């Protein structure tokens, strides 16, 4: 790109696409059927998937879907993954930045001959209440869970991915509150919008380094025993099809993103049930 004086604009390396003028005569790799590609980054035998924020719903489902495909999966002690030979638990407090950084280092040290290739940040603090009744400490917790915790996690895993030299994926779970804060969710909306704002900045910096950053907006009610009980649903029942998010179905999105070829990366997508109002 040149300015009016004929000089090249060096203000941003991303504006000067010199990479386009380095011809490669080797053929492209074959295109596989949907879902059959390996995860972007290290090869299957040495690829570690690390997940922060593993509860009984979406988090455990994400861990399960990666482990079921043969990938080494590191998550919290609460996770009960069927493929135990491919998984390990590491204690981590999402409200403590030092704990987050330490957990990532522990994962890398546990499998010294392997590399962190996919990192999923699924932690958040969600408190609801009238604005004038919300406390400052609740806002701080929400910001810690979504922004500061994610900041520490991203720094730790990106250092590992750069060290590995094979690229990878950093996948972040967001919420509709990042774009449309509902009444009663001021702290949650502030934290999730901050989380979302951080993502494109990291994506633009690390995309050229073969690290895929993606933000997944989750919009809707999760189906779980806790939610069903809270809403007074009969024991053993479920929500009608298309009315609530099903974590095992949602979890398929994460390997889909992590498998994407670097010629075709998704930055942001939303997940919601068919009957959700939006």
Residue 57: give its domain's CATH number.
Answer: 3.40.50.720
- Separation CA 174–CA 270 (nearest Å): 9
| pLDDT over threshold 70, residue 3 | no
User: Which residues sit opposite 49 in a β-bridge?
Assistant: 73, 118
pLDDT > 90: what percent of the chain?
68
Q: Is residue 120 in a domain?
A: yes
- Separation CA 173–CA 247 (nearest Å): 13
Q: Is residue 220 in a domain?
A: yes
- Separation CA 203–CA 213 (nearest Å): 5
Distance between start and end Cα atoms, the chain? 41
Q: What are phi and psi of 79, to 5 degrees?
A: -75, 130
When pLDDT is cut at 50, 70 and 90, the band that residue 10 belongs to is: low
Determine contact, residues 49/118, Cβ cutoff 8 Å: yes
Sign of the alpha-carbon torsion through 144, 146, 149, 151: negative
Per-residue pLDDT, 11: 47
DSSP characters over 182-240: PTT-HHHHHHHHHHHHHHHHHHHHHGGGTEEEEEEEE-SPBP-HHHHHHTTPPTT--PP
- Least trusted range by pLDDT, from 28-42, 51-65, 72-86: 72-86
Determine contact, residues 162/207, Cβ cutoff 8 Å: no
Which has the closest alpha carbon to 211: 203, 223, 219? Answer: 203
Q: Is residue 277 in a domain?
A: no
**Contact partners, residue 252, CB within 8 Å, separation at least 6:** 65
Selected residue with higher pLDDT from 184 and 1: 184
110 lies in which domain range?
45-271
Rg of the Cα atoms in the chain = 20
Sign of the alpha-carbon torsion through 186, 189, 195, 196: negative
Quote the distance between the C-alpha of residue 42 and its chain's center: 18
Per-residue pLDDT, 15: 60
Average pLDDT, the chain: 89
| pLDDT over threshold 60, residue 22 | yes
At residue 41, the 3 state secondary structure works out as coil
How many structural domains are present in the chain?
Answer: 1
When pLDDT is cut at 50, 70 and 90, the band that residue 204 belongs to is: very high
Selected residue with higher pLDDT from 46 and 1: 46
Q: Is residue 4 in a domain?
A: no
When pLDDT is cut at 50, 70 and 90, the band that residue 229 belongs to is: confident
Task: Look up the pTM and report it.
Answer: 0.89
When pLDDT is cut at 50, 70 and 90, the band that residue 2 belongs to is: very low
Q: Is residue 34 in a domain?
A: no
Beta strands in 132-265 (DSSP E): 168-175, 211-218
Determine contact, residues 60/120, Cβ cutoff 8 Å: no
Q: Is residue 154 in a domain?
A: yes
Selected residue with higher pLDDT from 3 and 238: 238
Selected residue with higher pLDDT from 228 and 102: 102
Q: Is residue 16 in a domain?
A: no
Q: Is residue 10 in a domain?
A: no
């Amino acid at each position: 790109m040149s300015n009016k004086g004929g000089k090249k604009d060096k203000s941003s390396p991303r504006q000067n696409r010199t990479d386009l003028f380095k011809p490669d005569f080797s053929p492209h790799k074959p295109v596989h059927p949907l879902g059959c590609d390996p995860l972007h980054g290290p090869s299957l035998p040495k690829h570690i998937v690390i997940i922060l924020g593993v509860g009984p719903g979406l988090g455990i489902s994400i861990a399960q879907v990666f482990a079921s495909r043969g990938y080494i999966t590191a998550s919290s002690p609460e996770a009960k993954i069927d493929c135990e030979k491919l998984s390990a638990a590491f204690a981590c407090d999402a409200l403590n930045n030092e704990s987050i950084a330490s957990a990532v280092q522990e994962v890398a040290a546990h499998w010294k001959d392997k590399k962190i290739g996919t990192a999923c940040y699924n932690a958040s603090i969600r408190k609801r209440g009238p604005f004038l009744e919300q406390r400052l400490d609740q806002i701080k917790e929400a910001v810690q869970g979504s922004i500061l915790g994610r900041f520490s996690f991203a720094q730790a895993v990106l250092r590992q991915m750069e060290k590995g030299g094979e690229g990878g994926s950093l996948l972040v779970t967001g919420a509709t509150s990042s774009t449309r804060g509902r009444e009663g969710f001021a702290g949650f909306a502030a934290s999730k919008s901050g989380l979302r704002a951080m993502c494109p900045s990291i994506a633009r910096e690390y995309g050229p380094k073969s690290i895929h950053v993606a933000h997944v907006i989750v919009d809707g009610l999760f189906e779980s025993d806790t939610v069903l009980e809270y809403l007074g649903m009969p024991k053993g029942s479920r929500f009608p099809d298309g009315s609530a998010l099903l974590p095992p179905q949602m979890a398929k999105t994460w390997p889909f993103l992590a498998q994407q070829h670097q010629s075709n990366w998704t930055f942001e997508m939303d997940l919601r049930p068919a009957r959700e109002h939006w």
